[in-house]
Amino acid sequence: MLEQHTPRLTPSTLRTSMTSPPPNTSPLSDTEWDANELETLGHCPICQSAARTVLYDNLTDTLFRCAPGRWTLHACNGCGTAYLDPRPSATSIGKAYANYYTHSEPAQPTSAKDGADWRSALRTFARANLNSYRNARWQMALTPSNTWGRYVVPLVLPVRSLIEQQMRHMPSQPPDRQGRLLDVGCGNGAFLKMAQAAGWSVQGIDFDPIAVAEARRQGLAVDLGGIDQLADQAQTYDWITCSHVLEHVHDPQELLHSMHRLLRPCGTLWLQTPNIDSIGHKTYGPYWRGLEPPRHLALMPLKALCSTLKKVGFKTRPLRFPLFTAMAIHAASGAIHNDEENAIALPHSRTLRLRFLLLALQQHWRLRDAEFHTVIATR
């Protein structure tokens, strides 16, 4: 077992122990990435500026622990984008996804059975309220459901915000026609299933063969490969979603141009990507959940992202980031700092949960501080 090099995260060490490089926690961190499978940039992939500062050195895959190598993250002195250099080539980066979360079947809700404990019953009651809101908002038919959730959930703003994000702020279907939706980087198809249940005609695309196979197993129309395969479908889609994909691709601007071409006039792109200027990154430094080397190749601040979208031809509208999701990112970052294998679940410490809540509240009102950028971009 690898030696723990950093003190365990507690409320008193939360801010003071986040500046040192992350511990050597990846089992493959001492295995080098093949030099023939690396590419060197020498400039920012967003603004092309060569002026830069080393942000972190010797980063490893401390989240999924399946990618070899140590990585250097640079900060562009021009636009503020953080990017890996050198980075895995487009033909070799698949090695970094050997143990990725999209390879499993999407989680299915479970219902409490008669005689189950009160926690299960409470979860089922909460799910029924959430489904009631989804059914009313998007004309779905999810179960379990009840009659009052559609009225209660809109009054609880953090919960409503979380659901709207999960549904990627898509509108309900017009009664006269079925809209076409494309999910770029659809993974195992979890969102496509929800959009399909909401009445959309859905299609997905992803370069990960394992994730695509899982999506197809569920009967979803998903293509394997890059978005260039859809070049003959110009002005086809009403709504395109791109959730945590932009940071994974080697040419973010080309991806944005491709999605712009695929949208119908006045069509909408829903985009979400980690924010290098977030409070989480400022707090946790190299342990921040959003870094995720070497899968995350470039992380932009809000100004650079909106500027790039406008150059492509989009009109942009940034959205607020849900409170509960922000808390989860803070908790995951703390787990990475503690070298815990489960970097997803919230910690049991009530004091830490309160700390994460306060951090999330601090960034909720300032878009530039959010953990992720969520942007509605209209063609």
What one-character-per-residue DSSP string does 149-214 give? Answer: HHHHGGGSHHHHHHHHHHTTTPPPPPTT---EEEEET-TTSHHHHHHHHTT-EEEEEES-HHHHHH
Tokens encoding 173: 């279907």
pLDDT at 8: 40
State mean pLDDT over 348-363. 57
Helices (H) and strands (E) in the chain — how many of each?
10, 13
pLDDT value at residue 104: 66
More confident residue, 363 or 347: 363
Residue type, 262: L
Provide mean pLDDT across the span 293-322.
94
* Rounded distance between C-alpha atoms, residue 306 and residue 223, angstroms: 28
Question: pLDDT value at position 176?
Answer: 66
What is residue 15's predicted lDDT score, i.e. its pLDDT? 38
Give mean pLDDT, residues 326-339: 82
Residues 115-132, mean pLDDT to the nearest whole number: 84
Top mean pLDDT of 4-8, 105-109, 218-222 is at 218-222
The pTM (predicted TM-score) of the whole model is 0.85
- Percent with pLDDT over 70 in the chain: 80
DSSP bridge partners of 16: none
Q: Which of the 8 DSSP states describes residue 69?
A: S
Per-residue CA distances from 158 to 265, 327, 361, 362 (Å): 33, 12, 11, 14
Indicate the burial class of 73 (C-beta count within 10 angstroms; 0-12, 13-18, 19 or more).
buried
What is the pLDDT averaged over residues 45-58?
A: 96
The residue among 115 and 263 whose pLDDT is bigger is 263
Q: Long-range contacts of range 255-259, CB-CB < 8 Å, 24 or more positions apart?
A: 255/184, 255/227, 256/308, 256/309, 256/312, 256/314, 257/312, 258/227, 258/228, 258/230, 258/231, 259/184, 259/227
Largest CA distance in the chain: 64
pLDDT value of residue 169 = 94
Is pLDDT above 80 for 16? no
- Whether 92 has a pLDDT exceeding 60, the answer reads yes
- Name residues whose C-beta falls within 8 Å of residue 237's C-beta, 6 or more positions apart in sequence: 180, 181, 182, 262, 263, 264, 267
Q: In the chain, what is the straight-line distance between the N-terminal and C-terminal CA atoms, in Å?
A: 52
Tell me what the mean pLDDT of segment 215-237 comes to. Answer: 93
How many whole angstroms separate alpha carbon 187 and alpha carbon 102? 5
- Assign 120 to helix, strand or coil: helix
**What integer pLDDT is reported at residue 350 of this predicted model?**
54
Taking CA atoms, 232 is separated from 19, 88, 200, in Å, by 48, 29, 21
CB under 8 Å to 120, separation ≥6 — which residues?
110, 112, 113
- pLDDT of 9 over the 60 cut: no
**For a pLDDT cut of 90, what percent of the chain falls above it?**
60
* Residues 285, 55 contacting (CB under 8 angstroms): no
Of residues 223 and 32, which shows the higher confidence score?
A: 223
pLDDT category at 294 given cuts 50, 70, 90 is: very high
In this predicted structure, what is the pLDDT of residue 290?
Answer: 94
Confidence of residue 332 (pLDDT cuts 50, 70, 90): confident
Report the SS3 class of residue 115: coil
Question: How much is the mean pLDDT over the chain?
Answer: 84
**DSSP E strands, the chain:** 38-39, 52-59, 71-76, 82-84, 87-88, 180-184, 201-206, 222-224, 237-243, 263-274, 298-299, 315-319, 372-378
pLDDT at 224: 94
What pLDDT is stored for residue 341 in this prediction?
Answer: 58
Banded pLDDT at 183 (limits 50, 70, 90)? very high
pLDDT digits (tens, 9 = 90+) for 56-78: 999 999 888 889 999 999 999 99
pLDDT at 352 over 90: no
Residue 41, pLDDT > 90, answer yes
Q: How confident is the model at residue 19 (pLDDT cuts 50, 70, 90)?
A: very low
pLDDT number for residue 4: 31
Burial state string for 215-233 with b = 16 or more CB within 10 A and e = fewer than 16: bbeeebebbeebbeebeee
How high is the pLDDT of residue 29? 53
Q: What is the pLDDT of residues 234-285, one digit of tens each?
A: 999 999 999 999 999 999 999 999 999 999 999 999 999 999 999 889 989 9
Closest CA to 195 of 204, 206, 205: 204
